[in-house]
Amino acid sequence: MEQTQGLTVIGEKFPSVTVKTTHGVKKLPEDYAGKWFVLFSHPGDFTPVCTTEFVSFAKKADEFKALNTELIGLSIDQVFAHIKWTEWIREKLGTPIPFPVIADDLGRLAQALGMIHPQKGTNTVRAVFVVDDKGIIRLIMYYPQEVGRNVDEILRAVKALQVSDKNGVALPENWPNNSLIGNKVIIPPAGSEALAAERMEKAKKGEIECFDWWFCYKNL
């Protein structure tokens, strides 16, 4: 894999790469074929904010698994540092880390995915990549080093993506707890006058709900 800093975008195929992890050597995305995975980077081992994140990810790991989704951590620390840190979390905080942590000590994967901010030295930023069961990058989030992530939001986003794929719908803000339409889902906007009229007719019959022809929604 070419070692260049680039901007990875949603919809791209995750780059094929062999990595060292705390669970042995893995090839991404091939080893996760048929599964979704969440790859999240952290600035460094033995740091307070990262530790709180790892504990939260570990506690939510079963909920991700229920969505056919695996977790993978990453930083540019070496594998022995990852092992020692995860041991410390287990022993001191009572939380085993069930997912692998990539030791990207040469920074190749971090560079390829744009995880290293040029003004932050060699540490990785807090990046999140949600990759689907076909190896396609579906969501990217970046957080600064100073602000920890919300693991519940990442879990919500995975659920929303899977619901969208399965049902051909869009999901509102904070779904399934949107302040406007609750847990209902949005029907893609009409692309023609005929379809717009059809939508409004369905709304009159109570088959769907619409604020207008371009904003229709329904129960799953």
Query: First vs last Cα of the chain: how many Å apart?
Result: 42
Q: Which of 19, 38, 39, 50 is catalytic?
A: 50
Whole-Å CA distances, 186 to 8, 177, 182, 217: 28, 13, 11, 4
| Residue 50 bears catalytic tag | yes
What six digits make up the tokens of 185?
């889902």
Number of C-alpha atoms within 13 angstroms, CB side, residue 172? 17
Q: Which of 180, 178, 191, 187 is nearest to 207 (CA)?
A: 187
d(CA 153, CA 176): 12
- Pick from 95, 48, 47, 38: nearest CA to 72: 38
Strand partners, 37: 70, 131
Whether residue 29 has a cis bond before it, omega within 30° of 0:
yes
The single-letter DSSP state of residue 170 is B
Q: Across the strands, what pairs with 209?
A: 217
Residue 14 is classified by DSSP as P
Active site residues: 50
